[in-house]
Amino acid sequence: MPKTDVIIIGSGIAALQLAYNLHQHLHVMIITKNQLTANNSYLAQGGIAAAISKDDHTQHHFLDTMIAGDWHGNEQAVTALVQEGKQAVERFIHAGAPFDITREGTYDLGIEGAHSKPRILHSGGDQTGRKITGFIMDAIAASSTIEWVQNEMVIDLMLNRSGNCIGVKTKNKQDQCKTYFASHVVLATGGAGGLFTRTSNHPSIVGDGIALAYRAGAHITDLEFFQFHPTILTVNGKTIGLISEAIRGAGAKLVNEDGEKIMTDIHPLQDLGPRHIVAYEIYKQLQSGRKIYLDISPITNFQDQFPSIAAMCLDNHIDIHKCRIPVTPGSHFMMGGIMVDKWGCTTKKGLYAIGEVACSGVHGANRLASNSLLEGLVYGNRLAALLLSTKKDTTLDFDPIEKNQSPLIQLPFTKEALQDTMMRHVGIIRNQNGLTKQLNWLNRFALTPFQAIDHKSRSDIETYFMWIHAVLMTESSLLRTESRGAHIRSDFPNKDQINWYKKRIMHNQENNRARITYDKQHQIEIYA
């Protein structure tokens, strides 16, 4: 049986940084559902936030992160993010990472939504994700201790009699199953933007990691907090791609068809307000029948500063010389996820989660712009430190238990139907009527989250995983009777500090029975 030290599922920045830190000491297998670049890190147009300027301080970055997260974040986790993130970025700079510089030779620090200081490092203008993941990839591509397994979808996490995670089961594009075993299994599968019709995410990012972890018995939390990016390029009703927040940082303004600025009286930071506030205002304007544009006339040399976005506009017949780019909000980032401790350990021994799929407490109820790549670096470093300090268990039982599960039936709905109903009822604005309607729709099918799926196609399994994630998210959104961060309830429009401050909803299951619990947010200690 194929066995290695560490299996990493995913190939975004968190996965690559972890592999980089481990490969000189341990054997690593990286498994990806598609090609290595089919992830949100590679697509990231924004930058990496770090308080490296002499005019900045990690305490400012901490406060900006907590405020953007509507104070739902974990203070210890956020402190570690901004302090260790700064150190990680400085090490990247020392290693020769290709960050953009000014004509004067200093690092070109941009400002984005809800940041109080310019602290955003970019690479290649709006190609930061591609450049930085490429930088890490170049450092490990030739490593003899890393095995790359592409185009295999992980469909199950394997457990032994003690409940330890000991490996994974995959399915390739020919629908053939394979198994791989490891002492440590790391989920770095990214988010779940594909649950919705309009998204900035890669099409393959639909929430696999949440379904895998939940089925294995790990705790899931904060799924009601899902960020919708304010500015997605939309042409004739079709979603094309993300329009980076850095454009507004460079001076672009959100306007309606009459040229009126829409954010002037909405937030003190106007167009650079927190994403959930800007997205909500655009949503309201669109609902009233108005069209919304990014006015890029204040930006000189737009094509030089934002080459990828300019090319995307050109490909879709948007004349940037007219200085207006049509935008709508779309699903972007999952603040919740698999509950982890400060190292990335889940509640399941042998199973870890880092990056967007994890909920470490660093983003609270709404992520601060350009903190996502930073999180990947920090937790790639943190988990590596833990694994390298962990004594190898030579007695680990690699005999997987047989699961007594009923086979998954033919799915009675399409992926597109699920995306459409989620967008309508669990999208930017929610209420009890819509959430109840969605939960009833999801629960009317003869499905449970714990069915056998080996016999199904990859496409069916992906849709089934989406259904599992959708059920958990809809339940959480219905249970949280307040508006906080990216979770906006029209029937509960205010924050409820008495009943919901620092309180999070956790999903877990034991013996294939679902359970929902409540807990005050804390820095959990998990034995791993």
Can you spell out the DSSP letters for 429-461? SB-HHHHHHHHHHHHTSS--TT-B-TTS-HHHH
Q: What sign does the CA torsion over 495, 429, 208, 410 have?
A: positive
d(CA 227, CA 209) in angstroms, rounded, equals 18
Contacts of residue 426, defined as CB under 8 A and 6 or more positions apart, other chains included, come to: 434, 435, 438, 470, 473, 474, 477
Spell out the domain ranges in the chain: 3-222+335-389, 230-329, 408-518
pLDDT in tens, the chain (528 residues): 679 999 999 999 999 999 999 999 999 999 999 999 889 898 888 899 999 999 999 999 999 999 999 999 999 999 999 999 999 999 999 999 999 999 999 999 999 889 999 999 999 988 999 999 999 999 999 999 999 999 999 999 999 999 999 999 999 999 999 999 999 999 999 999 999 999 999 999 999 999 999 999 999 999 999 999 999 998 888 889 999 888 998 999 999 999 999 999 999 999 999 888 999 999 999 989 999 999 999 999 899 999 999 999 999 999 999 999 999 999 999 999 999 999 999 999 999 999 999 999 999 999 999 999 999 999 999 999 999 999 887 778 999 998 878 999 889 999 999 999 999 999 999 999 999 999 999 999 989 999 999 999 999 999 999 999 999 999 999 999 999 999 999 999 999 999 999 999 999 987 777 677 776 765 444 433
Q: How far is CA 410 from CA 276, 376, 447, in A?
A: 37, 37, 10
Domain 3-222+335-389 and domain 408-518, same fold? Reply is: no
Residues noted as catalytic = 275
Label the pairing between strands 513-520 and 337-339: unpaired
Number of residues written out for the chain: 528
Q: What sign does the CA torsion over 83, 84, 85, 87 have?
A: positive
pLDDT of residue 526: 40
Contact 160, 401 (CB under 8 A): yes
Burial of 34 (0-12, 13-18, 19+ CB in 10 A): middle
pLDDT of residue 527: 36
The single residue listed with the structure tokens 């069916």 is 460
Burial of 135 (0-12, 13-18, 19+ CB in 10 A): middle
CATH assignment of 408-518? 1.20.58.100
CA atoms within 13 A on the CB side of 517: 10
The single residue listed with the structure tokens 């109080």 is 116
Q: Under CATH, what is the fold of the domain 3-222+335-389?
A: FAD/NAD(P)-binding domain (3.50.50)
pLDDT of residue 521: 63
Residue 503 in tokens: 């309180």
Q: Which amino acid is at 107?
A: Y
pLDDT of residue 264: 93
H or E stretch covering 3: strand 3-9
Which of 315, 224, 231, 222 shows the shortest CA–CA distance to 279?
231
Q: Please state the pTM of the whole predicted model.
A: 0.93
CA atoms within 13 A on the CB side of 239: 21
Q: What SS3 class is residue 297? A: coil
Measured from the Cβ of residue 46, the count of other Cβ atoms closer than 10 Å reads: 24
Contact 254, 292 (CB under 8 A): yes
Beta strands in 252-375 (DSSP E): 253-256, 292-295, 324-334, 337-339, 351-353, 358-359
Under CATH, which architecture does the 230-329 domain have? Answer: Alpha-Beta Complex (3.90)
Label the pairing between strands 253-256 and 292-295: antiparallel
Residue 424 in tokens: 């309508």
d(CA 8, CA 354) in angstroms, rounded, equals 10
What value, to the nearest 5°, has the Cα angle with vertex 471 and ends 465 and 476? 130
d(CA 217, CA 232) in angstroms, rounded, equals 35
H or E stretch covering 121: strand 120-121
pLDDT of residue 394: 76
